[in-house]
Amino acid sequence: MAQDVVGSIPTIRPKNASQPQQPAALVNPKVEQSSGIPVYVGCSGWAYPTWKPKFYPPQVSSKKFLEFYSTRLNTVEVNYTFRSLPTPAIIDAWLAQTGPAFRFSFKAPQRITHIKRLKDCSEALSEFAEAIRPVIRAKRIGLVLFQLPPNMKADHNRLTAFLRDAKKLKLRMAFEFRHPSWFDAATYRILERNKAALCVAESDDLETPDITTAPFTCYRLRKSKYSKPRLVALADHLAKQSERGEVFAYFKHEDDPTGALRATTVLRRLQERIA
Q: What is the pLDDT of residues 94-146, one digit of tens each?
A: 999 999 999 999 999 999 999 999 999 999 999 999 999 999 999 999 999 99
Residue 32: phi and psi, rounded to 5, are -130, 135
Confidence of residue 176 (pLDDT cuts 50, 70, 90): very high
Distance CA 259, CA 147 (A): 19
* Mean pLDDT, residues 195-210 taken together: 96
- 139: which residues sit within 8 A by CB, 6+ positions away? none
Is 178 exposed, middle or buried, given 0-12, 13-18 or 19+ CB atoms closer than 10 A?
middle
* Mean pLDDT, residues 132-161 taken together: 98
- Where are any strands of DSSP class E within 112-202? 141-147, 173-176, 197-198, 200-202
From 18-22, 76-80, 176-180, 245-249, the region with the lowest mean pLDDT: 18-22
- Residue 19 pLDDT exceeds 90: no
From 10-14, 126-130, 254-258, the region with the lowest mean pLDDT: 10-14
The torsion defined by the Cα of 139, 87, 9 and 67, in degrees rounded to 10, comes to 40
pLDDT in tens, 35-73: 556 999 999 999 999 999 999 999 999 999 999 999 999
Confidence of residue 254 (pLDDT cuts 50, 70, 90): confident
Domain covering 39-274: architecture: Alpha-Beta Barrel (3.20)
Domain segments of the chain as ranges: 39-274
Query: What is residue 273's predicted lDDT score, i.e. its pLDDT?
Result: 82
Amino acid (one-letter) located at 159: L
